[in-house]
Structure 1
């Protein structure tokens, strides 16, 4: 089994709860054999493991499907067996061999084999939808996938790497990405339409081997899952999970207080603080690798000047004020692209709000009177709060900014087209606890031409490319010695202090859930894959 080479990223903390109720609200306990969850399902658009994106989809799909490997929720550098009971790295780091468990069955009762696992990964490349991006970055394609990803016998899966990379990163992707979920090939192909490999059907159905089966899904209304009778581990302790689409924080707060919900997320900081005073509720915050950031378009004539980028991104953001005033329960201060908790992590840089320094830099750049600009932002918390703070601090540097709120597609669509000036966004690496995951997403840009269309690299979206940074990131990825690799990743971050790329992290995302104390075994997962197979409820916690 491959030894871990990185330290934990995850920080899970439970807030102490005072024995004070939210007076005036009644309590009606829900059934002990079902879990009632309130969350926004605005971004739950598909359950197809090749196409679905976002935490909403992962939260549901991880209970319908199994992955070959899992990541320990308490130490995200540790890989755990799942459908694959053991694995090894060979051929100089270019071959992964995974031995699957005998007796794993899909919800239909059909045996899960290495052929299903190989086909599931090949399907991701053939469909070439959202979840193919990471595999393409490893060098896979629809053409080479059948030869490189294959079953040698019913319980042996072999994955050859098409180009040199860190095999730990690939194993982490298998464990954390929905693209690594194993699909019941026969059931899906029975619903294939015009060569779509079952994509249309899997959008609203499931064909997995998870602890639960999909029972009903009414988009932006209700989703229910029932305990699977064919699960290969001990049966799920809950008979049923009911997820309700809810976006209003005060409604979530009221229903938690009344006992009409067991778990809820996406609430405002004041409502979380109020619920934290109740003895029957627990607040659980899990740190994710995603970053809240401010980005500028380095292809724009103004922001092509490093002095202007330094003024805006290093001196006109109130980092501490945003973290303490806007982001409680949403994020914690983080000004580097590599998350905290890894061997390559560095202390926070000394970036501070300094409008006088910003004005000097703008004057040197020929902009003594400042300029007018726009801030694109998703029209929901906490993005709007960050944008409002940024608008105020930019004004102190002489920059007059208008806020353009919109949907995620509008904001990130403009970013993908490199048609923006300033954006407040959230992004970063996948769930892999590996420095390359974040640097690849936020900094790396191997081809800055418009025609390259590397829209999956947020560095490309901002039009910033640095050959030396690219070289350091590439060199670190291919360095087998852990200490040398860590030193190179630290060197890349130190170069970021000297240079001013076009994306400036502000905070690392926190996913905060309020959980009824009667709910036992609920462990929020940093990757979003919070599995509910061991969750149960007690009448008197």
Structure 2
């Protein structure tokens, strides 16, 4: 109640000022002021971070070995590594570092810091270890697999056969190998925690900005690093402010008290599209909105029932009415825009076909079930739309809303019937990034607890499909690899999977026109070092 009252008081005060004709101050010309919801901003530790919001902060405090070009994701650009080599057998990656980089502490950045940072990820075994574990790295082998032959050379030996280009994409896209100042972090270790407690609210990077302060669910300030190896960032300071209510964000950016607003409700974003002082920047992410069924549940273990559900979703209606600003129609597990991504299969709502399939499955009158969903939008509206069309075929799905832990927790425990959610990686510009998250399931046993694999969560398993995914990853002929990934999509479709993609995520950010060179990054690694502002009065 207290938060609501404070938000209401803030809105009232602002409206009174507007009504009286009082002008609110513009943001300082040398500062970038960003409004966002910080509820999911829980730690600044690159090894422990979760969610896109913190990635966008970490990549401005730390540098990584390489970066992805926001305009062409398959273009890997040098960063701390000025060049790199892949051994002929594809097993060893060698990175040649710059020798003129210093951390914010003044300590020189060397290969030992890179090696220590990567070892730390696996030894801590927190959120960001999962991708590296899927490549075969572990707490047991990481110390042998990563080494520093000299002060400015890093060698990564892959523990198992892989596509080395995918590993390089991961180094660039994930933000988790922001290189840490190992000497500084080690001074702040507590009970052998690799500095995790200290790095929750502090940083030890070499990036274009230095953390000044972070007050949880209030404000985070970063100041320009005067000794940055690329040259000083254009803005003297970046300030991120927490706003719980989308309406408050809308009011603040309309009046010029914010330069950028993110995490806004689509209704407010659409209203702001008409403002000539503002631009809505939309970037397509690799994650998918989906309808998932549990094959541990008797009804959905039957492929005819799953196929019936496939034809009981109004994909076109949902995407037209509910998803503008949130997502775009997509029905494949591999994200759009990849050379290997097949065109959508073109599924549409077909009640007669669905009823015929249900009758053949032994459910001519349908059945009762439950549908779990987050209480946020657009998830809830998608669930209501799906509930409505399922009901037309006699499938009565009771909606159960909850928090992320409640909804996805039930999915991780494989204790759900139907679920509307969003997931998948797609951060790296490689088909395996999507398949790893949404399809791959090497061990379907309950004991395996492969909770990071959504294929395992739904109980969907096909030995041949797993083998096809493993084989495609190692294929060195580019055209043959594309054909292999297309064959995977065809087989996946024919197997009537338990997860039905309906829309690919779009992330929308509102930016004032004074802001120049701001480019939201598809992998959430949005760099702010080149952003600057122009006086609107000088633009004519």
TM-score, length-scaled by structure 2? 0.94
Q: Please name the residue that 2:350 is paired with.
A: 354
> Counterpart in 2 of 1:391?
387
* Matched residue, 2:137: 140
Quote the residue 1:408 is aligned against: 404
Matched, 1:124 2:118: no
Alignment correspondent of 1:320: 316
SS across alignment from 2:370: strand
Aligned to 2:167: 170
Q: CA RMSD in A?
A: 1.5
4+ long deviations beyond 3 Å: 22-28
| Correspondence for 1:337 among 311, 333, 342 | 333
Q: Which aligned pairs between 1:257-272 and structure 2 lie closer than 5 A?
A: 257-272=254-269
Give the distance between the partners of 1:154 and 1:348, measured in 2 at CA: 49
In the TM superposition, residue 364 of structure 1 has moved relative to its aligned partner by 1.3
Among 147, 165, 189, the alignment partner of 1:150 is 147
Which residues in structure 2 correspond to 1:50-129 (within 5 Å)?
Answer: 50-129=47-126
Instruction: Select which of 406, 421, 425 maps to 2:421.
Output: 425
Give the counterpart of 1:240 among 212, 237, 241: 237
Q: Is residue 302 of structure 1 aligned with residue 296 of structure 2?
A: no
Cα offsets for 1:299-330 (capped at 9, x unmatched) = 11111111111111x11111111111111111
The aligned counterpart of 1:538 is: 534
Q: Secondary structure at 1:124's aligned position in 2?
A: helix
Match of 1:228 in 2: 225
SS where residue 397 of structure 1 aligns? Answer: coil
Matched with 1:250 is 247
Within 1, Cα distance between the matches of 2:375 and 2:227?
A: 43
**Aligned residues between the structures:** 519
1:534 shift after superposition: 0.6
Among 375, 378, 388, which residue is 1:379 paired with? 375
Q: Write out per-residue CA displacement over residues 379-435 of structure 1, whole angstroms, 9 at most, x where no aligned residue.
A: 211111111111111111211112111111111111111111111111112410000
Residue 445 in structure 1 maps to residue 445 in structure 2:
no
1:247 and 1:311, CA in 2 relative to 1: closer, same or farther beyond 3 A? Answer: farther
Aligned equivalent of 2:43, options 43, 46, 60: 46
Q: Which runs of 5+ in 1 are unaligned?
A: 1-21
1:27 & 1:285 partners in 2: Cα distance?
Answer: 27
Higher helix share: 2
Deviation at 1:91, TM superposition (A): 3.9
Tell me how far apart the structure 2 counterparts of residues 154 and 48 of structure 1 sit (CA, whole Å): 25
Unpaired runs of 5+ residues, structure 2, are 1-17
Deviates more, 1:206-215 or 1:221-230: 221-230
Conserved in 2, the CA contact under 8 Å of 1:173 and 1:180? no
What is the TM-score when the length of structure 1 is the normalising length? 0.94
Conserved 8 A contact 1:114-1:155: yes
Q: Secondary structure at the match of 1:418?
A: coil
Distance in 1 (CA, whole Å) between partners of 2:301 and 2:260 is: 46
Partners of 1:33 and 1:239 within 8 A in 2: yes
1:177–1:83 CA distance, 2 compared to 1 (3 A): same
Mapped to 2, the partners of 1:249 and 1:453 lie a distance apart of: 37
* 1:159 to partner: Cα distance: 0.4
Q: Which residue of 2 aligns with 1:8?
A: none
- Give, in whole Å, the separation in 1 of the partners of 2:337 and 2:181: 37
Choose which of 186, 193, 196 in structure 1 pairs with 2:193.
196
1:186 maps onto 2:183 in alignment = yes
Q: What's the CA shift for 1:47?
A: 1.1
- Following superposition, the deviation at residue 361 of structure 1 comes to 1.2
Paired with 1:385 and 1:457, the residues of 2 have a C-alpha distance of 26
Aligned to 1:291, which of 269, 283, 288?
Answer: 288
Q: Distance in 1 between matches of 2:482 and 2:387?
A: 37
Deviation, structure 1 residue 491: 0.4
| 1:204 aligned counterpart, secondary structure | coil
Counterpart Cα distance in 2 of 1:357 and 1:42? 44
Distance 1:75 1:319 in 2: 29
Name the SS of the counterpart of 1:59 in structure 2. helix
1:517 paired to 2:524? no
Q: Distance in 2 between matches of 1:34 and 1:388?
A: 43
Distance 2:67 2:22 in 1: 40
Indicate the SS of the match to 1:62.
helix
How far did 1:25 drift? 10
Partner of 2:504: 508
Aligned-partner Cα distance in 1 for 2:376–2:22: 28
